[in-house]
Chain A
């Protein structure tokens, strides 16, 4: 694991050095005098200008547009802009489809998160007990799945599960399950979600595998050795020693997966052809996109974007809270 310099959240500034660790004290003495004060800002400026222009300003605009009745006519300037306040949100909350989509998103993302974590961490534990060449093989293959672009991954999975030509149905029919002859996996709402979720788990478990494996490797062998000498069984060691020590990593990986899976767009869009039959497979992101760019309801689409962002911000804040509680310094 890369060592990170410990930094105190409110390191002494200006003329009050001497608090905290020696490194921090030395740092503040070196860098806080006079001219140096401007230097970090010079290094920060380019990145932050880009961030403000391409993240900050768009977020502001997103909220702004969500408060207007903004459709094709307003975009081309043929109709006056109407400030409608929270009307777009009221419309959404009164629309049963919105609640269905929100429900879809939560169920789908949760399933993806749970399976990604299960598969990833079990394989990480398994990886610690493998011969080096088998482990390398597992890692290279997993990295391959990880690296596969969402678009091509979706294409291959779609092909494997194609109703008439797909290998999966062919195999199922060949072993006697004739009801799968020409069976469409994307026709039924939940089998379509299941298919997309499998692809998502396939390309996102490697992140969990790699990170949790690194975490396990970082546990000093002496600790486990000591427990073994004291007579602890392997499951006991996993539960009482490894799990607590891996907690910070597991939390980070979980939150990261939640965030990624709530944002899934490409896989759903491609595999269910834009949200499934009659929009049965829509998730928030795809729904917002369809409202804006297919139906030209930019105001409504923006409101969906705001809801999505707010949802993820809440998750992020919980994440920061937990990090703080476990004593991880920024």
Chain B
């Protein structure tokens, strides 16, 4: 409706229908806005409830307090989670695994994306199809062979064996690469060929060009892509459950959270506090790169 007020007078007078049309649009727009706000509230509700329940005192939760607010917020649940259950250690483990995976997979995927977009060679299309297909592999199905692979690898290199954080890093780097290549392709291809020619004329070697010119230019896209490796690693619960069998100290967040689930006597305050701790880093990461993400996704999907 503000549109009517701002629109220049001259334009309004040139077309008799305009004000009426705009008003009509404004009305319809109001309906759409109201609907969208209601939907947004519904979508946000589970997250709101999670944070609220984490802050409610245990007595209120056990009594089944359904109030959408709390008059006596307490950090007790967080205390229980961090103090008693060693959540800090698991948080750190999750951060380490996720960061190493992000760095390794992004670098490897970036180099591969360079080869696949800025060079023309015989196998190119075939490789692209292989990458597309390998994205579709249900990695959950590979748990069994990977379990045995890591068990054997652990005998040679203890760092990547079962019960080690290295095992999680390894499998997640493998799983993140195909999608990362697929997404980075668009960003790498968007850098004009002229930039490359100019660099060559100035005497830069191919690797020098990739490292000092291409990489900084593509960096925003790299950040957007890294969010996917980060999230899939951070969220993974199957591999952590399967590979970290006996070494409690090397457990990551999802499994740690699951240990709070006890039939019929769930400590919901602790579960919600743990969930908040686990969700916040992803939320921050996600929302801060969302713009890049949207354009990157569109590129990858268009692929």
Interface residues, chain A, with chain B CB atoms under 8 Å away: 1-5, 7, 9-11, 13, 23-24, 26-28, 31-32, 36-37, 39-44, 46-48, 50-51, 53-55, 57-59, 61-62, 64-65, 75, 123, 126-127, 129-131, 134-135, 137-153, 155-157, 159-160, 162, 164-165, 167, 170-171, 174, 202, 207, 210-211, 214-215, 218, 248-249, 252-253, 256, 259, 262-263, 265-266, 269-270, 273, 285, 288-289, 292-293, 298, 301-302, 304-306, 308-309, 312-313, 315-316, 320, 328, 330
Across the interface, do B257 and A55 meet the contact criterion of CB distance under 8 Å?
A: no
Q: Return chain B residues, CB-CB under 8 Å to A147.
A: 231, 279, 282-283, 285-287
Across the interface, do A155 and B271 meet the contact criterion of CB distance under 8 Å?
A: yes
Is the CB of B154 closer than 8 A to any CB of chain A? no
* A216, chain B: closest CB distance, angstroms: 11
Q: Which of B237, B261, B271 contacts A266 (CB 8 A)?
A: B237
Is the CB of B50 closer than 8 A to any CB of chain A? yes
Q: Return chain B residues, CB-CB under 8 Å to A135.
A: 36
Give CA–CA (A256, B302) in the complex, Å. Answer: 12
Known: A151-B257, A152-B275, A330-B128. A259 touches B112 (CB 8 A): no
Closest to B50 in A: A156
Closest to A288 in B: B141
Give CA–CA (A10, B272) in the complex, Å. Answer: 54
Q: Return chain B residues, CB-CB under 8 Å to A292.
A: 143-144
Closest to B238 in A: A265
Number of A-B contacts (CB under 8 A): 332
Q: Which of B29, B49, B299 contacts A1 (CB 8 A)?
A: B299
Q: Which applies to chain B's interface (DSSP): helix, strand, loop or mixed? A: helix
Q: Which applies to chain A's interface (DSSP): helix, strand, loop or mixed? A: helix
Contact sample, A vs B, 21 pairs, CB 8 Å cutoff: A3-B299, A4-B299, A10-B125, A40-B119, A43-B112, A44-B111, A59-B142, A61-B149, A65-B148, A137-B40, A143-B286, A147-B279, A150-B237, A152-B278, A155-B275, A156-B272, A160-B49, A171-B66, A214-B295, A253-B301, A289-B238
Q: Which of B35, B64, B144 contacts A301 (CB 8 A)?
A: B144
Interface residues, chain B, with chain A CB atoms under 8 Å away: 28-29, 32-33, 35-37, 39-40, 43-44, 46-47, 49-50, 53, 61-62, 64, 66, 108-109, 111-112, 114-122, 124-125, 127-129, 132-134, 136-146, 148-149, 170-171, 173-175, 177-178, 181, 185-187, 189-190, 193, 206, 210, 231, 234-235, 237-238, 242, 253-254, 257-258, 261, 263, 266, 268, 271-272, 274-275, 278-279, 282-283, 285-287, 290, 293-299, 301-303
